[in-house]
A and B are shown apart, each in its own frame.
Chain A
Amino acid sequence: MDKLRVRVYNVRFGDAILVTVPEQVEGGGTETRHILFDVGNAKSSKQGGEGHDDRVFAPVVQDIVQELDGDPLDLYIMTHEHWDHVQGLPYADEHVFPTQDLKALLQVQHSWFSGSAALDYYEKHPEAEKALAMVDAVYAQLEDLWAADPEQADDPFTDVLMINNNSNATAYYVDRLRLLAGEANTHYVHRPRPGHPEDSLAGKHPFQELGLSIWAPEEDTADYFAKLQPMALNVTPGENEGDQPSLTSVVPPSGVDAGAFYNLISQRKRNLLDNLLTIDKAKNNTSLVILLEWRGWKLLFPADAERKSWQMMDHHNQLEEVHFLKVSHHGSDTGMPPAEMLDQIFPGEAQVASDGRPRYAVVSTYPHTYSSVPDDDTLEELRQRCTLYSTKEDVEDQGYLYIDLEFDEAGDTVIVQPGGAPA
């Protein structure tokens, strides 16, 4: 009996998912095709930090190559330009397969990238370009701050946020991923707009039986970039070009209470964190949200979509009941669809869908990487609606490399099996 398999690898705080699809093809017979999502994990500039451990990539990419067994990778999907979704394959090419060409091993037939990863995207979208300029300005200030006071860079949470969202750093990996399928078969995709035949997915993948649809994001994602707050980081640039910046020393003037003065200075610096989280959220909301349909099964892969993206999907009447959910944004409460939208994806508090098929979800996550992620209440709410697995508890803690969910074509069974050996 044919089974569609979803293999969710443990890459700690990141995503790496291999979907293996048996397809009936013209002329009879079945062909097995593969889709690979992302491959990445959150990076810290600190060595050996929890959650960000590049050692995870070796067995993962080796397993992917082994599973392909010489067959091409039919579709690679880079869901969005965050380090924890882009780093893995280029890293593996350099460090895991140093004497081989990973591109040749994978033979990627088609690649999908989020629209905002297109090289000419910002030329065509002036509002998005303005948003990017604001983000770049924030980064420039933060880099000056860390140069002036390296101790402030020691904070692991801020460190991860900075690196994950550093478009200059992630651009290196995105550019390498762009080469996988070649220019002609690299597609920048988004939710199709009515009256725009060029948005159709026809010709952008080889699947004949599997249904693929894109629920998000829009073609223009500028609206996800909320206004940033002004930051007062108290950094004085060096006198000459190339000089190190320094922290501005301030003392209260005569007649001003010192405690109140320094409290004000401290409060003005707090916007730094708010801004980093706003930037992070905006990028998450540019995630490609993909629905796969196969023989009655519906599997949703929302990457790191957050609340506003879910609201847009709802606004465009995209949401429908599914059987499988890759939990968004590593189990954060902000990645969880709002209650009434979750009711559309996983209606009713039962672990079966309205058609009687069982419901499943997998969260790919690692604690103490992002603040309050994963969120216990979010995962508990999901457990009331489906059988939930975690790459931390059910894979890494059990000594495995991945968890497989196999959806059989009869529609009544899902076999769940962890497997593989980590490094």
Chain B
Amino acid sequence: MRIRIPMMIQDPKWSTLEGLERKTERPFFEEDFFLDGPVSRRVAILDLDPKTGKLEESVPFRPPTGSQTLWRYKLDDPDDIYARDAIALNVFGTVLLTMKMFEDPDALGRELAWGFDGPQLLVIPRAGEWPNAFYQRASRSLQFFFFPNPREEGDVVYTSLSRDIVSHETGHAILDGIAPGLYDAISPQSLALHEGVADLTAALMAFRSGNLRVQVLEKTGGSIDDASDFGSIGEEFGLARYGLGYLRDLRNDLGMGDVDHSSPHELSQVLSGALYKVMLQLHKEKWQEGSPAGEPFAISASGFALWKAAEQFKRMILRALDYLPPGEVSFADYGRAILASDQASHPHAGEVRTWIRKEWVERGMVPSESALRVKTDYTHRALEGVDLPTLIDSDWAAYQFANENRRLLRIPADVPFVVEPRLDVSKRYYHREGEVEVRECLFKVRWVQTEPNSISRRWPWKRRVRVGTTLAIDWETGKIRVLLSSDRRRRHQEEEEQQEDRDLFLRHLAEAGLMRLGDRALAHDGQPLGSIVQAESQDGVLKAEGTARMLHVIGRADHG
């Protein structure tokens, strides 16, 4: 079923401040069904009254009348963006549009699965008064709050009206389905990856808006280098809370030495800043290429160049998520995943990969470019005779394959491992010769390593760290398209840095009382406390879970 949903292009107040004439747009959506709510098979808006919890009247879904051809959600007053029903519909549209971007045939190329056991993400657009928003796996929900603007009497800031914030939180939910192991990570870079990808999701969603692109480029004369509409996250929120025009600014030159390694929010800015810079370079390159001869950087060429660059940027960032090894990952792992994804499909066109390597080194995410070296598209005897449909369907076959190929998959001898459900995915690639569909089998295996735990004598002396390997097999050629592992037995410097960061992060959680052992993390009724990470000691080894749900409690980085 196909409909159109009205959505904010930018934060409402920010749109006015920036002089944007067009504040809403109505993209098309296609889902199995739509119901009053709005509700669809995969997303349901629950407009619960923030004070009483009463479920407000649904936004009705009505058939076309007169000259209309599409069913639509009927708003009481379509011009009132602050109306309850408009807010609900805006969130619905933004969540669906974000999902659609990830599912693009040239991104992940498949329908998303959530990180929880169930088909439907529940969304509360006005969850209460609080300057925050979050994704919560346990409740399968996104919750958006509002707060009075301390700088403008009578004004209320709704996070659910911010395209950035809604797509950021949806990015968390989506990533939880792609890489669920990150939710329990104890490595600050893993949690920072969650934040960074969520911020980049927001930036991508801004680039996706044709209306916003046109309006911004008209204002700037074609350049996006200083355009806050794309590079600033949560403009209205940042302005109201901090007097800054952003909650985070992706236009930064932050390096690993500039940020607190125990703070995933601060760390995330290094990653997102690096990738955003690559995006700026992509746009410049395409702008120059697309400009008429003798007229470099013609404004007429900027819009198309921006669209092309944004699409390439999207493919680069999102495809790499499939190649992340399961378990704890670092920025270096994600860098290798991006490079591997690009190299596997475009082995000869390497300029973007040069930029990425440069950013990673300059910002201190890796010690040198050699740390990002990846091998792609090669044969291996382990895959000879492997029947991919059986490998996908049969857990036994998958286990046997992993056990017989421990060396290839970097699994230590005699260590138990888990093989994740295999995925048969097809993605569209654009080559000079035309479009190509690449089908691959994604095979992921994970196991547990133990390392020293140096947070305090009151804690176990060892801790558990999940590591893993992703093997992407080209369905057609039977070659290894990509093989990436977070096993760092051969990358000593990276491993040392990760361990130090884990010490810092866990020590911070322990000292702040945000992580507690055993029953101390539970309420008197035996249920977990929402603001505490429950850690267990099993045979003297520390296990912690659900750390990602602390992200909105730990706080957000903001900087001037």
| Contact surface of A with B, Cβ cutoff 8 Å | 155, 157-158, 229-237, 248, 250-251, 253-257, 260-261, 263-265, 267-268, 270-271, 273-274, 277-278, 281, 306-308, 311, 333-334, 338-340, 371-372, 375, 377, 381
Indicate the member of B118, B122, B145 with the most A CB atoms within 10 Å.
Answer: B122
Which chain A residue has the least Cβ–Cβ distance from B131?
A227
B59-101, CB under 8 A of A: which get 1 and which 0? Answer: 0000000000000000000000000000000000000000000
Which chain A residue has the least Cβ–Cβ distance from B40?
A255
Q: Which residues of A contact B48 (CB under 8 A)?
A: 232, 250
**Does any Cβ of A come within 8 Å of B39's Cβ?**
yes
Q: Which residues of A contact B127 (CB under 8 A)?
A: 230, 232, 268
A260 near B513 with CB under 8 A, answer no
> How far is the CB of B116 from the nearest CB of chain A, in Å?
9
A248 near B531 with CB under 8 A, answer no
How many pairs of A and B residues are in contact by the CB < 8 Å rule?
126
Total interface residues on B, using CB and 8 Å? 51
Q: Among B37, B58, B138, B456, which residue has its beta carbon within 8 angstroms of that of A339? A: B456
10 closest A-B pairs (Cβ-Cβ)?
A: A234-B53, A371-B524, A230-B128, A267-B139, A255-B39, A157-B524, A255-B35, A264-B139, A236-B52, A230-B130
**Does any Cβ of A come within 8 Å of B17's Cβ?**
no
Q: Among A253, A265, A381, which residue has its beta carbon within 8 angstroms of that of B53? A: A265
B524 near A253 with CB under 8 A, answer no
**Does any Cβ of A come within 8 Å of B46's Cβ?**
yes
Which chain A residue has the least Cβ–Cβ distance from B118?
A260
A256 near B122 with CB under 8 A, answer yes
The 17 sampled A-B contact pairs (Cβ below 8 Å) are A230-B127, A232-B50, A232-B127, A234-B53, A248-B52, A250-B54, A253-B58, A256-B37, A261-B46, A265-B53, A270-B530, A274-B529, A306-B513, A333-B520, A340-B456, A371-B523, A372-B519
Which B residues between 121 and 165 are near A, CB-CB below 8 angstroms?
122, 124, 127-130, 136, 138-141, 143, 145
Q: Which residues of A contact B52 (CB under 8 A)?
A: 234-237, 248
Q: Which residues of B contact A257 (CB under 8 A)?
A: 118, 120
| Contact surface of B with A, Cβ cutoff 8 Å | 33, 35-37, 39-41, 44, 46, 48-50, 52-55, 58, 118, 120, 122, 124, 127-130, 136, 138-141, 143, 145, 456-458, 511-513, 516, 519-520, 522-525, 527, 529-532, 553
Roughly how many angstroms separate A120 CA and B105 CA in the complex, as a whole number? 65
A253 near B511 with CB under 8 A, answer no
B139 near A263 with CB under 8 A, answer yes
Q: Which residues of A contact B523 (CB under 8 A)?
A: 157, 270, 273, 371
A236 near B530 with CB under 8 A, answer no
> How far is the CB of A191 from the nearest CB of chain B, in Å?
21
Roughly how many angstroms separate A367 CA and B26 CA in the complex, as a whole number? 61
B54 near A248 with CB under 8 A, answer yes
Q: Among A237, A253, A278, which residue has its beta carbon within 8 angstroms of that of B39? A: A253
> How far is the CB of B265 from the nearest CB of chain A, in Å?
15
Roughly how many angstroms separate A236 CA and B49 CA in the complex, as a whole number? 10
Additional 11 contacts, C-beta under 8 A, given A235-B53, A250-B48: A158-B524, A236-B54, A248-B53, A253-B46, A253-B55, A255-B35, A256-B39, A256-B46, A256-B120, A307-B512, A334-B513
Roughly how many angstroms separate A375 CA and B520 CA in the complex, as a whole number? 9
